[in-house]
Amino acid sequence: MSRAAKFKAALAVDEMTERQARAEHKRLAEEIARHDELYHNKDAPEISDADYDKLRQRLKAVEARFPQLVDKESPTQRVAPVPTTAFAKVRHLKPMLSLDNAFTDEELQGFFDRVRRGLERETDLKPDAEIAYSCEAKIDGLSISLRYEDGEFIQGATRGDGTTGEDVTANLRTIKDIPHKLKGRLVPKAFDVRGEVYMERKAFLELNARQVAAGEKAYVNPRNTAAGSLRQLDPKITATRPLRFFAYAWGEAEPRHWKTHSEYLKLLKEWGFHTNPLTKLCRTPDEVRAFYKKMGAERPSLPYDIDGVVYKLDRIDWQERLGFVSRAPRWAIAHKFPAEQARTRLKGIFIQVGRTGALTPVADLEPITVGGVVVARATLHNADEIERLDVRTGDMVIVQRAGDVIPQVLGFVPEERPKKTEKFHFPTKCPCPLKTEVKSEEGGVVRRCSGGLECPFQQVERLRYFVSRNCFDIEGLGGTHIENFFNDGLLKIPGDIFRLPKRKDEIRKREGWGELSVNNLINAIEERKTISLDRFINAIGIPLIGEATAKLMAQEYGDVDTWLAEMLKAAKERKKTPDEVKKEKAAADVGESYGRLCNIEQIGVTTADEICEFFSEGHNVEIIRDLRKQLTVEGVTRRVIAADAPLKDKIVVFTGELSTMTRDAAKARAEELGAKVTDSVSKKTSLVVVGENAGSKARKAAELGVKTLTEEEWVELSS
């Protein structure tokens, strides 16, 4: 069974009541609208195209069974969000509609069958007559409409909501592929040329290299970078970005001289446009499938990103007979590629030292686009994983983004292994300048530098973590800046960050820093002098304490002074704790503060000991006290949970890929229902919600006999 078929079966829309469907429809519509806004207006998507398409498929399935839920505000009736107000609005004379998607061969065949039935009904088409399709690789870029009158380019706009877009004419004039004056025969007096603005992979990598060299944040992928570049308020910035344009469609056209789509593509080239060379006229469904397979095989080696193949009925009179349904034409479809794997060359393996001293092997790869993101590095996890995979420098390796998020190496291609390769040997010394011994933890899975905070690599990583998104989130203070400031003595401990405003004259003299960038950094630092307690705890970098556990600790202690006092008391009490208590034979006389810490969900004795070890180190306590002098740490208003809350006092864990909502949305809903959400499974866990591709947490739940729910069961429970 295909992945899409499994997805449909697992969710069982056919078994929904109308009440459940209404709640699900509302949730999906809100989620899709949020992702539309992130993708189209902010150029900052949070999920992959495949996951987004799943949400839309799910919504369409709900509406198909419950048509009374369809209204004009449904995402199925709209193309994209209303454009932002940063640019003037442009109303398209003919709407810019999007395409329906096919993910399986069954869905593609359904499209062919619908087209044939429609043509037999609307025309005199014979049952065995040939139907030609213009097939072209689907460029992963930003859709644009260009307005020409008397051959002159007069205006350009984004798709927007399909009816109204944003005027980006000045920016489009900087793109060399867009002609300002058309040449050739049969140019309409007034018409709209539609196509895609994109960025080639090589140009994207070169742009990122310049960003990193300048100490700026690297961009995520070519598509988002192209979209962000085109929507710059200053056209001079757009002009510095290596944008390209492929033309492939039209809007209004008066007069129109072409009778087929393939004829129109030829005319576009005569007029001076670039068209996608990966285009073919296919006359049978088998030819179409062969073209799709060919594009899938060539996809990794193309100079630009594609995420599928578009099939359009070639004859325009037939297109007009079939018309449109809702937001898409009946005569065209996008055949999307499945979750992507790619093959690329392993250039080498290097060791990365984390903030806790853990040594992580990282694969250095020839850059390749996987799931819409350029991947040049992928974690190899630990020494055991390298031993299992036996990957070596020079290997052709298979790369996948786990859950379309984390790049991982799945293995190597044996027949393409070079003749002379050497097995990787995990180092016994830390790669830091101190060259301290590497120690294995119990079980030997994690290996750590024994240098502690004396290790400069750990110091830098702790500072990077401190300013990261889920901690202090200081804009303009990226990893490269942190490392440079550390090496030059401007930063040593977190508190030094908040002393940087006093050293702005020194920063201003540094290469790449001007008056504007220095002022922006100082303002960003000042804005973060007030921080929530959970972010503060998370940012400190206490071993085994992450975002979720920091929130639980903040809820338990309420304010920073209470938290710090309790941690210091627990650290003193822990020294008196007998060995049997450490083995979880906890007794009441271990100390009130240490016992309180051990009893927080997701902490327990092992994590509590790590915390106490951290607070037994005077240097760590001084770092926190230094920060307290400079910051306002906001306390936590404890959640009041109703006595009849459905999940009151339940401990819930989510694992695997959720298709109908994001992980954050699912966690928030569980907390609304009174649950405590944690990231690890233990005997105390009440239930585990298991999505697709679930791993060790699902297995542990089964071993411990913890109740599990499918995503469908969770949706029903939480509705």
* pLDDT band of 66, cuts 50, 70, 90: confident
* pLDDT band of 307, cuts 50, 70, 90: confident
> How high is the pLDDT of residue 588?
44
Full-prediction pTM beyond 0.75? no
> How far, in Å, CA of 655 to CA of 695, rounded?
7
* pLDDT band of 587, cuts 50, 70, 90: very low
Rg (CA), the chain: 29
> How high is the pLDDT of residue 709?
87
Is the pLDDT confidence value at 92 over 60?
A: yes
> How high is the pLDDT of residue 43?
55
Among the listed residues 138, 312, 336, 569, the single catalytic one is 138
> How high is the pLDDT of residue 45?
67
* Segment holding 111, helix H or strand E: helix 105-122
79 vs 364 pLDDT, higher one = 364
| Amino acid residing at 286 | D
> How high is the pLDDT of residue 39?
66
> How high is the pLDDT of residue 649?
79
Mean pLDDT of 274-294: 95
pLDDT in tens, 102-126: 888 999 999 999 999 999 988 888 8
Is the pLDDT confidence value at 83 over 60?
A: no
**585 part of the active site:** no
pLDDT in tens, 450-505: 877 778 898 999 999 999 888 898 988 888 889 899 999 999 999 999 999 999 99
Is the pLDDT confidence value at 319 over 50?
A: yes
β-pairing verdict for 341-353 and 133-139: unpaired
> How high is the pLDDT of residue 583?
46
Mean pLDDT of all residues belonging to the chain: 84
Distance of CA 75 to the CA centre of its chain: 21
Mean pLDDT is lowest, of 47-56, 140-149, 346-355, for 47-56
> How high is the pLDDT of residue 42?
59
Domains of the chain: 3-78 (1.10.287.610), 101-336 (3.30.470.30), 341-440 (2.40.50.140), 455-528 (1.10.150.20), 533-634 (1.10.150.20), 651-718 (3.40.50.10190)
Mean pLDDT of 237-252: 92
> How far, in Å, CA of 303 to CA of 282, rounded?
24
* Segment holding 667, helix H or strand E: helix 663-672
> How far, in Å, CA of 610 to CA of 574, rounded?
10
712 vs 529 pLDDT, higher one = 529
Torsion 522-523-529-532 (CA) sign: negative
Is the pLDDT confidence value at 442 over 70?
A: no
Is the pLDDT confidence value at 560 over 90?
A: yes
> How far, in Å, CA of 552 to CA of 600, rounded?
7
> How high is the pLDDT of residue 264?
96
Q: Looking at the DSSP assignment, which residues form a beta bridge with residue 144?
A: 158, 195
pLDDT in tens, 399-416: 886 544 578 888 898 988
Mean pLDDT of 681-685: 83
* pLDDT band of 7, cuts 50, 70, 90: very low
> How high is the pLDDT of residue 633?
93
pLDDT in tens, 230-242: 888 888 888 889 9
β-pairing verdict for 306-313 and 332-336: antiparallel
What is the three-class DSSP state of 601?
A: coil
Mean pLDDT of 344-366: 90
* pLDDT band of 79, cuts 50, 70, 90: low
Mean pLDDT of 123-136: 92
What is the three-class DSSP state of 342?
A: strand
> How high is the pLDDT of residue 636?
83
